């Protein structure tokens, strides 16, 4: 109930339409209560008394009532659909907005397909609870209450006899409801697993084909599909058991009505028309109970999905603005690490006691074996993570005391794996600064050695580059990424070996663009090929999370330590 009430909060902006929709539902449902009363009048007034006037009145009443029912039915369907769609849009946007605010650590613990399932499968299941189930809930509830009221009016003793089965029905729904909620949650999890496997299979199709693993991926998908089938069948089994139990219980009540009601007619305590009407109302009573049991199951399924959605919304970002955080003004680029330690997992230090001071405009290279902590240093500067101990300052200001947006707006990142968006070349470069003018975008592309190849493309800057830039070569993607960073014009630059995966010609063009990009900026270069960092002002040598050496290329070679060994190994290899 707590989850459902929370769900209804999203209806609040549309409460006026909801009230009108509920009125339409009630009035449309009221027409169903008119039919048994007609049967009573036909039997007792028309057929028994041969009353032609009453026959005409009943015929006219049927036409008017069902015309109005059609109008109200249209109103309930349209308005509830409108409300349902608007609420789903709001929830979907709320989930996506919240996902954008969550820290990187949240994404590293979850699969992409699972996150996609929250916004697609789970939110779609929630819509069912708000539209179809809500209409049925009000309609059948109105039919139930209305039928009971008329039944008490016709013969209260007979009505009490009918209600003996109600507690049994209620207890049955409660027991099965818990089972349905559990099985529905499992269905949503299995749907998320299918989405995840599907996303991996489509996005990694190049790798799959290169290893000839199509059959393996098909089997993996079949396995998840079968697990989803089993979860669905478990849910169907529960639903298929619930409905017959409810119907059998209702049948006992109808049997009691026929026997006791027939006895009352024989004893002249009840008219034949009233008994027939009472019996139809009793059937109307059992039908809503049966339908409400199905609605109850659908709502339980939707609530299981809603819980998963709300679990996402309730997750707090690990990295967020501190209370009273201020905007970071234009910086010079002095970066200091003051005794920094960091752990991804408790008890497993990724950095230990790193002490570092970088002057504005310096180029700082970070080298070391795999797992030494190079990327961790780069991740701490824009606050993708916060250090376990120590503090990082920029121009003497603790980066925790400023807003994340103002901090990251002054930091540019060019990763080794270039991420581009499905759109035009122009829109991808413009991503660096959305208010930039066209000539600024073109100048950034020229500075990144990208303008010439862009102009050689069929539509120039308007050329569509495909998902993740699939229509471009590695060197072209990297130069567009650099153009994007140049357009942003950051004071601090982080480069994760932007040329390591390129051929010689592309590497030369990209390296020229990188050199232009670093001019006048405080730059951190994560280096794998040591030949690319000889001109760095400072080289930091990392080993097992510790800063073991620092100095220029010549100083570190003369020192004869870890850097010298790494350099000699690469030199001999080349």
CATH number of the domain encompassing residue 160: 1.20.1560.10
Strands (E), 108-220: none
- Do 304 and 386 fall into the same domain? no
Pairing mode, if any, of strands 389-394 and 397-398? antiparallel
Whether the per-residue pLDDT at 500 is higher than 70: the answer is no
Say if residue 79 is in the same domain as residue 206.
yes
Phi and psi of 490, rounded to 5°?
Answer: -80, 160
| DSSP class per residue in 118-137 | IIIIIHHHHHHHHTHHHHHH
Provide CB contacts within 8 A for 377, sequence distance 6+: 337, 351, 354, 366, 524, 540, 542
Neighbours of 167 (CB within 10 A): 9
Residue 488 CA to residue 435 CA, distance in Å, equals 10
* 473, two tokens: 């070569």
- Tell me, yes or no, whether 501 lies in a domain: no
Rounded Cα gap, residues 407 and 382, in angstroms? 7
Between CA 188 and CA 194 the distance in angstroms is 10
Could you tell me which of 367, 403, 329 has the C-alpha nearest to residue 547?
367
Which range has the worst mean pLDDT, 65-79, 292-306, 355-369?
Answer: 292-306
Element (H, E) at 350: strand 348-358
Alpha-carbon span 202 to 179, nearest angstrom: 35
Please indicate, yes or no, if residue 505 is contained in any of the structural domains: no
The residue-averaged pLDDT of 135-163 equals 78
Q: What angle do CA 58, 64, 68 make, to 5 degrees?
A: 140
Q: Is the pLDDT of residue 465 over 70?
A: yes
Whether 401 and 258 share a structural domain: no
Answer yes or no: do 210 and 344 share one domain: no
The answer, yes or no, to whether residue 173 has pLDDT greater than 90, is no
Q: How far apart are CA 496 and CA 535, in angstroms?
A: 16
Among 252, 280, 314, give the residue marking a domain's end: 314
pLDDT-derived band at 287 (thresholds 50, 70, 90) equals low
285 and 144 inside one domain: yes
Count of domains forming the chain: 3
Q: Tokens representing 81?
A: 């659909």
What is the three-class DSSP state of 151?
helix
What are residue 541's DSSP bridge partners?
367, 549
The residue out of 264, 280, 314 marking a domain boundary is 314
Given a cut of 90, whether residue 393 has pLDDT beyond it is yes
Q: What mean pLDDT, rounded, does the chain reach?
A: 81
User: Which tens digits make up the pLDDT trace of 551-569?
Assistant: 888 888 888 888 888 878 7
Which pLDDT value is given to residue 557? 86
Domain co-membership, 112 together with 229? yes
Percent of the chain with pLDDT over 90: 7
**Claim to verify: residue 343 and residue 309 sit in the same structural domain:** no
Measured CA to CA, the distance from residue 8 to residue 129 in angstroms comes to 10
- Give yes or no for residue 340 having a pLDDT over 60: yes
Query: Given 3-state DSSP classes, what are the helix, strand and coil percentages for the chain, each rounded to the nearest 5?
Result: 70, 10, 20
pLDDT tens-digit series, residues 239-255: 788 778 777 776 776 77
Choose one of 489, 523, 547: the last residue of a domain: 489
Angle at 536 between CA 532 and CA 537, to 5 degrees: 175
Max CA separation in the chain (angstroms): 121
Q: Is 438 exposed, middle or buried (0-12, 13-18, 19+ CB in 10 A)?
A: exposed
pLDDT-derived band at 290, boundaries 50, 70, 90: low
Look up the domain containing 472 and give its range: 418-489
Q: What is the pLDDT of residues 349-386, one digit of tens each?
A: 889 988 989 999 888 989 888 888 888 898 899 998 89
Residue 304: inside a domain: yes
Are 379 and 443 members of one domain?
Answer: no
* pLDDT score recorded for residue 402: 92
pLDDT mean over 335-341: 92
Tokens of 170: 């209620």
Residue 286 pLDDT > 70: no
Residue 389 lies in a domain: yes
Mean pLDDT of 165-178: 68
Average pLDDT over residues 281-288: 70
In a domain, 506, yes or no: no
Q: Which range has the worst mean pLDDT, 11-15, 494-498, 569-573?
A: 569-573
Residues in CB range of 545: below 8 A, 6 or more apart: 342, 349, 350, 351, 352, 372, 373, 376
pLDDT at position 394, please?
A: 92
Distance in angstroms (rounded) separating the CA atoms of residues 381 and 524:
10
Is 523's pLDDT higher than 80? yes
Q: Which of 91-95, 144-148, 279-283, 529-533 tops mean pLDDT?
A: 91-95
Q: What is the pTM of this model?
A: 0.69
The CATH number that applies at residue 464 is 3.40.50.300
Using the predicted structure, report yes or no on whether residue 413 has a pLDDT greater than 80: yes
Residue 213 shares a structural domain with residue 289: yes
**Residues 263, 151 share a domain:** yes
> In angstroms, what CA-CA distances link 485 with 344, 498, 513, 573?
28, 12, 11, 33
Q: Determine the pLDDT at residue 392.
A: 92
Q: Which residue has the tokens 């015309």?
A: 67
546-551/538-543 β-pairing: antiparallel
Higher pLDDT, 530 or 367: 367
Give the DSSP H/E element, type plus range, for residue 442.
helix 438-447
pLDDT(541) > 60: yes
For strand 389-394 and strand 348-358, is the pairing parallel, antiparallel, or unpaired? unpaired
Q: What is the pLDDT of residue 398?
A: 92
What's the whole-number mean pLDDT along residues 49-56? 75
Which helix H or strand E contains 525, and what residues bound it? strand 522-526
CB-based contacts of 155: which residues, under 8 Å, 6+ apart?
A: 261, 264, 270, 274, 278
Residues 375 and 520 in one domain: yes
Residues 397 and 459 in one domain: no
Residue 377 counted as domain residue: yes
């Amino acid at each position: 109930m707590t989850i459902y009430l929370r769900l209804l909060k999203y209806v609040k902006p549309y409460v006026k339409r909801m009230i009108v929709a509920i009125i339409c539902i009630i009035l449309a449902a009221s027409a169903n209560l008119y039919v048994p009363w007609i049967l009573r009048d036909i039997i007792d007034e028309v057929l028994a008394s041969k009353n032609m006037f009453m026959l005409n009145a009943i015929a006219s009443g049927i036409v008017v009532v069902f015309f109005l029912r059609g109008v109200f039915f249209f109103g309930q369907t349209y308005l509830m659909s409108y409300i349902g769609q608007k609420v789903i849009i709001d929830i979907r946007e709320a989930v996506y907005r919240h996902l954008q605010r969550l820290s990187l650590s949240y994404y590293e613990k979850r699969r992409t397909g699972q996150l996609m399932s929250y916004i697609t499968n789970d939110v779609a299941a929630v819509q069912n609870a708000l539209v179809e189930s809500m209409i049925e809930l009000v309609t059948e509830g109105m039919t139930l209450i209305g039928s009971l009221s008329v039944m008490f009016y016709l013969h209260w003793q007979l009505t009490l006899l009918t209600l003996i089965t109600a507690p049994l029905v209620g207890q049955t729904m409660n027991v099965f409801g818990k089972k349905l909620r559990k099985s529905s949650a499992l269905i949503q999890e299995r749907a998320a697993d299918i989405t995840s496997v599907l996303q991996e299979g489509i996005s990694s199709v190049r790798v799959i084909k290169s290893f000839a693993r199509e059959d393996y991926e098909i089997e993996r998908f079949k396995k998840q599909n079968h697990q989803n089938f089993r979860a669905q069948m478990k849910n169907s089994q529960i639903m298929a058991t619930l409905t017959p139990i409810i119907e059998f219980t209702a049948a006992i009540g109808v049997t009691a009505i026929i026997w006791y009601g027939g006895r009352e007619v024989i004893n002249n305590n009840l008219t034949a028309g009233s008994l027939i009407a009472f019996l139809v109302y009793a059937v109307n009573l059992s039908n809503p109970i049966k339908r409400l049991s199905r609605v109850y199951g659908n709502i339980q399924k939707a609530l299981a999905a809603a819980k998963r959605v709300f679990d996402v919304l309730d997750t707090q970002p690990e990295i967020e603005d501190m209370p009273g955080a201020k905007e970071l003004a234009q910086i010079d680029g002095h970066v200091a690490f003051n005794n920094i330690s960091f752990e991804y997992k408790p008890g497993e230090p990724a950095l230990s006691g790193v002490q570092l001071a970088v002057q504005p405009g310096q180029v700082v290279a970070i080298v070391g074996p795999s797992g030494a902590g190079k990327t961790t240093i780069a991740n701490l500067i824009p606050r993708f993570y916060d250090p376990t101990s120590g503090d990082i300052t920029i121009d003497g200001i603790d980066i925790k005391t400023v807003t994340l947006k103002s901090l990251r707006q002054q930091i540019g990142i060019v990763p080794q794996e270039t991420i581009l968006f499905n759109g035009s070349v122009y829109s991808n470069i413009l991503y660096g600064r959305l208010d930039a003018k066209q000539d600024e975008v073109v100048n950034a592309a020229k500075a990144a050695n990208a303008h010439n190849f862009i102009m050689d493309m069929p539509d120039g800057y308007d050329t569509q580059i495909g998902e993740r830039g699939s229509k471009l070569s590695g060197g072209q993607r990297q130069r567009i990424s650099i153009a994007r960073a140049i357009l942003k014009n950051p004071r601090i630059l982080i480069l994760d070996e932007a040329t390591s995966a390129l051929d010689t010609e592309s590497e030369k063009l990209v390296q020229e663009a990188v050199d232009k990009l670093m001019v006048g900026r405080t730059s951190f270069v994560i280096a794998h090929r040591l030949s690319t960092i000889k001109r760095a002002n400072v080289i930091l040598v990392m080993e097992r999370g510790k800063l073991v050496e620092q100095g220029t290329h010549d100083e570190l070679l003369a020192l004869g330590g870890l850097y010298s060994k790494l350099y000699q190994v690469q030199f001999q290899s080349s």
